[in-house]
Amino acid sequence: QSVLTQPPSASGTPGQRVTISCSGSTSNIGSSYVYWYQQLPGAAPKLLIYRNNQRPSGVPERFSGSKSGTSASLAISGLRSEDEADYYCAAWDDSLSVLFGGGTKLTVL
Amino acid sequence: QAQLVQSGSELKKPGASVKVSCKASGYSFTSYAINWVRQAPGQGLEWMGWINTNTGNPTYAQAFTGRFVFSLDTSVSTAYLNILSLKAGDTAVYYCARASGPTYWFDPWGQGTLVTVSS
């Protein structure tokens, strides 16, 4: 059981907006930046969002991140079939360990 | 651009050891830490710890103390993960990932190395 809680699954149809939540506590998300990673089927994870809401170059503007208190969210707008993947949130905790959420499998219907 | 290339899949018997390599290119190896992440079959990501490529000092997550050893060969810009006394439960894909240091993000990641432990 992961310390950071994500819904195990999410789904949407092409063009829709989908959000994935990540819930933690004051000792992790509440005192750390949140990061999001995308893992396409059969591939290594890839950085999607860093420092709560920053997009690395090459990541489409359709992906956005936010954080409030001890929770964070990843939003994907204009959903596309190639967005079908597992999404993981991550944060450092007070003991300088990295915590990952359990992952959310996004299905594009 | 920065890239991490890992060694190939391994099939080992219980009790054996395995050494996974992670070769960096496209950046100054000693300017960034290397983290290790495990992903068991069908499961999520689990952080194993990191190694300071400047000092060689490793930090292990609580679940990965004892049989897991991080090391470096800076002359070839390569980090290593050594797993001793392998158990069936060690079967997983192991990833290395670059980070500027504690509290930073992981980017890029290696392609992953599948370690299968089976008699």
Closest alpha carbon within chain A to B101: A96
Distance, CA of A80 to CA of A17 (rounded, Å): 10
Q: What is the DSSP letter of B85?
A: S
Percentage of the residues of chain A whose pLDDT score is greater than 70 = 100
Q: Is A42 helix (H, G, I), strand (E, B) or coil?
A: coil
Q: Which residue of B has its CA nearest to A36?
A: B105
**pLDDT tens readout for residues B40-74:** 999 999 999 999 999 999 999 999 999 999 999 99
Beta bridge partner(s), residue B33:
B99
pLDDT tens, residue by residue, A3-32:
899 999 999 999 999 999 999 999 999 999
Chain B residues in contact with A88 by the CB 8 A cut-off are 44-45
The pLDDT score that the predictor gives to residue A2 is 81
Regarding beta strands B10-12 and B92-99, do their DSSP bridges make them parallel or antiparallel, or are they unpaired? unpaired
Which chain A residues touch B48 with a CB distance below 8 Å? none
**3-class DSSP assignment, residue B89:** helix
**CA A15 to centroid of chain Cα atoms:** 19
Q: How far apart are CA A88 and CA A48, in angstroms?
A: 10
- pLDDT, tens only, B64-106: 999 999 999 999 999 999 999 999 999 999 999 999 887 889 9
| Cβ within 8 Å of residue A57, ≥6 positions away | none
pLDDT band for position B25 (cuts 50, 70, 90): very high
Calculate mean pLDDT across residues B17-32: 97
Q: Please name the member of B44, B107, B110 whose beta carbon is closest to the beta carbon of A88.
A: B44
For residue B75, the distance in angstroms to the closest alpha carbon of chain A comes to 26
Peptide bond connecting A45 to the previous residue in cis, omega within 30 degrees of 0: no
Task: Write b or e for each residue in B88-115: b if 16 or more Cβ atoms lie within 10 A of its Cβ, otherwise e.
Answer: eebbbbbbbbbbeeeebbbbbbbbbbbb
pLDDT of res. B101: 80
CA distance A46 to A40: 8
Contact criterion met (CB < 8 Å) for B102 and A92? yes
Euclidean distance between CA atoms A99 and B61, whole angstroms: 10
Distance of CA A67 to the CA centre of its chain: 11
The pair of structure tokens assigned to A32 is 């750390």
Per-residue pLDDT, A12: 97
Residue A41 CB coordination number (10 Å):
8
